[in-house]
Structure 1
Amino acid sequence: MKQQTIIIGSEDTPHLPGELKALLEGSSEFISVSALWKSQPDFAADRAGTYVYTPEISSDYQIDAAAVLPSIRIKVIKANTTLSQLPGTLKKKSRQTLSQGITVSPAYGRPVQLQMYQNGQWVTKKTFTLSNSKSASLTADFPNDWWKVTSSAWRFFIPESKEGNALTSSSITVNTLRYYQNPSKYIQIQDKITLRHSGAYKLKVGYMGLKVQKVNRYFRIGNKYWPRYTSQTKRKVKAFQKRKKLKATGVVDKKTWMKMGFSESSWSSLGAYVSPIKVNPSSTKKDHIEAMISTAKKYLGTNYVVGASGKPGQGADCSGLVMQALYAAGVDPYPVSCVRHSKPGYEFESRNIWKNKKLKTVPYTKKQRGDLIFYRGRSGAINHIAIYLGGGKVIESWPNKVVIRPVKNSRRNRIKGVKRVFN
């Protein structure tokens, strides 16, 4: 052996021969000679690099000047860091602690970062320290507010060190289960409300709502509180289309709408507003009720507009106000929707909300804050809906504004019943 190269990991110790075979001068006989090995530079197992070992022979032996002593090159490389297999997905109810056990090798007191994906980058949320052993396990506790988002991505990152190379774990998807959810037989609270009725609808005879109101105002006809697409509206539209060299159908389509000077975006958005959700997975039952009521109160003073369910200040009738309050609390009363409400035959969506079997009917004497109060007209059919605030008061949209009134208004004291949204 003249020269040999041995590659080891940074956590390993080189094993060198304790004896060398030497040929006696003038003989063909080999003897064993004890050897001590000396490295250049001084060996450090936890430091990557190349170390050259040469033997030191006992002074009991004379070495020929021409003799070539062997050498051993020890190449120390960083160990491959390993981390125990992680689950691809975790599910946990909000407001509870969340932790994940991991095992890392080599450990030797190395730091472990728990990172969350936010705004297009990985952000370190917590750092843990492994024990000072070759392999170590730890339980990584997630931050206390991990549950504030519906779904999040997490990973572990171990920086490079003298003991081992860097490691980035696979991503873990954490799905947050709601702290509060209605029983399965009732309307389920959602993380996102997506309308299944398009706001890009054409206006025809019988339609109501904000888009019709805008067209009627253009022609200076109709009632701002009770906008309807009447035969008069149709005649005005038809004449307008002829003047603008459009197909004279008497129906307002997108081209006609824009020729009137209205924006392209308003064509699909004006009648399809959905209140931003004000609750999150950690919200309590009370939080949902208050999200509903606080949203309704933003409409105070907003005009009553039949068939409308717009933004605060734009206009909403009784059903439209309730829809937006429900949306803000994560409740979608589909097939009732702010879009369908403007179409012929759906003026009294309060009747359809009452028919919804996924809303619990409760006795009037048991009414609570956040319940829906339904009223009937002289014919006996439901024609009004309001949100109960407690203390004998409701918030409602009734000609001609959104107001807070006593639950038993003298003009409208025929109460049909009570429905509960949150159970």
Structure 2
Amino acid sequence: MFSVCGAESYRQGDQGQDVAAIQNQLGALGYDAGAADGDFGSSTANAVRAFQRDKGLEVDGILGEQTYRMLMGRDIPASRSDGSTSAVRRIVQTAMRYQGVPYAFGGTGPGGFDCSGYVRYVYAQAGVYLPRAADEQFEVGQSVSYSRLQPGDLVFFQTYAPGASHVGIYVGSGQFIHASTSNGVMVSSLDSGYWGPRYIGARKVL
């Protein structure tokens, strides 16, 4: 159950480059947040609690406005307080839940997916309905540059046919999750030897 109330926060279960920056800062200050992998897990939450305890803040393991400002030296990003944040979190967590589900040509899940069927299914769980095919999905929302990718954005590739013929969901830290023909639903790197040269753009649909 996710909610957005006033300013947003970072908490266990969140993922992305912002979380990696938080983990790096905790580590620099001597708090063991584990690897700076962009995955806000229990070790990161424990490090936040230790930081809060030392600073006399409420000890809840959540980076709200006050904890974030004391840790990072700046206000929490405005993007964290818009209404799409809880939907993004839900989409990323839903996407991760289907890792390992096999690829199925024409599959729309949840027992088997093709790439666009997987993306469409995940977004539908958050009440966002996308077209069926990758090239059609490439036409929705607004274009977003590689340098401004955020978790939940759709990333597109040109593989077997001209134009957008493969799609995945960006999850942060240069990684995306997708239904691959070889391994089913998996996380891959955007700049890998295979996917990097085939990347053609991204769309923000939230």
Both proteins in one fold, TM over 0.5? yes
Q: Which has the higher strand share?
A: 1
TM-score tier after normalising by the smaller chain length: 0.5 to 0.7
- Distance in 2 between residues matched to 1:386 and 1:317, nearest whole Å: 10
Q: Which has the higher helix share?
A: 2
Counterpart position of 1:305: 104
Higher RCO (C-alpha under 8 Å, 6+ residues apart): 2
1:370 pairs, out of 136, 152, 169, with 152
The structural deviation recorded for 1:324 is 1.2
- Distance in 2 between residues matched to 1:409 and 1:399, nearest whole Å: 16
Mapping 1:202-217, distance limit 5 Å: none
**Letter matched to residue 297 of structure 1:** M
For residues 383-407 of structure 1, the C-alpha deviation after alignment (integer angstroms, 9 at most, x for no partner) is 1001111101111110231101111
**Aligned 8 A contact 1:296 1:324 in 2:** no
- Distance in 1 between residues matched to 2:147 and 2:102, nearest whole Å: 31
2:122 pairs, out of 325, 336, 349, with 325
- Distance in 1 between residues matched to 2:97 and 2:191, nearest whole Å: 22
**Aligned 8 A contact 2:158 2:164 in 1:** yes
For residues 34-74 of structure 1, the C-alpha deviation after alignment (integer angstroms, 9 at most, x for no partner) is xxxxxxxxxxxxxxxxxxxxxxxxxxxxxxxxxxxxxxxxx
- Distance in 1 between residues matched to 2:191 and 2:118, nearest whole Å: 19
For residue 295 of structure 1, give the secondary structure of its aligned residue in structure 2: helix
**Aligned 8 A contact 2:157 2:166 in 1:** yes
The structural deviation recorded for 1:302 is 0.3
For residue 377 of structure 1, give the secondary structure of its aligned residue in structure 2: coil
1:355 lines up with 2:139 in the alignment: yes
User: Mind listing any 5+ residue stretches in structure 2 that lack a counterpart?
Assistant: 7-81
Counterpart position of 1:288: 87
Percent of residue pairs identical? 26
1:316 pairs, out of 113, 131, 156, with 113
Counterpart position of 1:130: none
**Aligned 8 A contact 2:143 2:203 in 1:** yes
User: Mind listing any 5+ residue stretches in structure 1 that lack a counterpart?
Assistant: 1-93, 97-282, 338-348
Q: From the superposition, tell whether residues 392 and 95 of structure 1 become closer, same or farther in structure 2 (CA, over 3 Å).
A: closer
**Aligned 8 A contact 1:304 1:398 in 2:** yes
2:185 pairs, out of 391, 396, 402, with 402
**Letter matched to residue 154 of structure 2:** L
**Letter matched to residue 186 of structure 2:** V
- Distance in 1 between residues matched to 2:154 and 2:5, nearest whole Å: 29
Q: CA RMSD in A?
A: 2.1
**Letter matched to residue 406 of structure 1:** S
1:391 lines up with 2:173 in the alignment: yes
The structural deviation recorded for 1:332 is 1.2
- TM-score (norm: length of structure 1): 0.28
The structural deviation recorded for 1:369 is 1.1
**Letter matched to residue 386 of structure 1:** G
- Distance in 2 between residues matched to 1:360 and 1:373, nearest whole Å: 12
Counterpart position of 1:147: none
- Distance in 2 between residues matched to 1:326 and 1:379, nearest whole Å: 24
- Distance in 1 between residues matched to 2:138 and 2:103, nearest whole Å: 21
**Aligned 8 A contact 1:295 1:324 in 2:** no
- Paired positions, count: 126
Mapping 1:169-248, distance limit 5 Å: none
**Aligned 8 A contact 1:375 1:415 in 2:** yes
- Distance in 2 between residues matched to 1:394 and 1:382, nearest whole Å: 16
Mapping 1:36-185, distance limit 5 Å: none
Q: From the superposition, tell whether residues 380 and 292 of structure 1 become closer, same or farther in structure 2 (CA, over 3 Å).
A: same
For residue 122 of structure 2, give the secondary structure of its aligned residue in structure 1: helix
Mapping 1:273-284, distance limit 5 Å: 284=83
Counterpart position of 1:421: 205
